[in-house]
Amino acid sequence: MIHPRHLAFFVAALLAPLPAQAAGGCDKWLSETVQATGSYLPTAEAYSRSFVFALRLDCDGTTELVTVQRPTGNLPVCDAGQSVEVVGRLIWNRTLVDGHYEINDPQGVSCR
């Protein structure tokens, strides 16, 4: 069984932008608390959906993928493609080869 926290890295790796597109679109909001609304992308494994999901976000005309995760769970499970609003601090995680955007332990998440 894959730990939900590790699953976020797998999701981001599968859905990450190509290297030419990595880092840039949302950089002006890094380290800030943002109120982001985008398309909900659930994880493949249903058991982990209350811990992690991805958000397809428009950052000034550039579509970026943001992983949203909460190690303690309790995230709402939205329908695939449904609009979801997330309030939290945007970071750039360099753990993977190209890195990816994340919001960890968001202050608020709601399906729209």
Q: What is the pTM of this model?
A: 0.76
Pairing type for strands 83-93 and 52-59 reads unpaired
Share above pLDDT 70 across residues of the chain, in percent, rounded to a whole number:
77
Q: Which CATH architecture has domain 4-17+26-111?
A: Beta Barrel (2.40)
Could you tell me the residue ranges of all domains in the chain? 4-17+26-111
* pLDDT of 99: 85
Residue 76 has pLDDT above 80, yes or no: yes
Per-residue pLDDT tens for 19-67?
434 456 899 999 999 999 999 999 999 999 999 999 999 998 999 999 9
Average pLDDT, the chain: 84
Measured in whole angstroms, how far is the alpha carbon of residue 65 from the centre of its chain?
A: 6
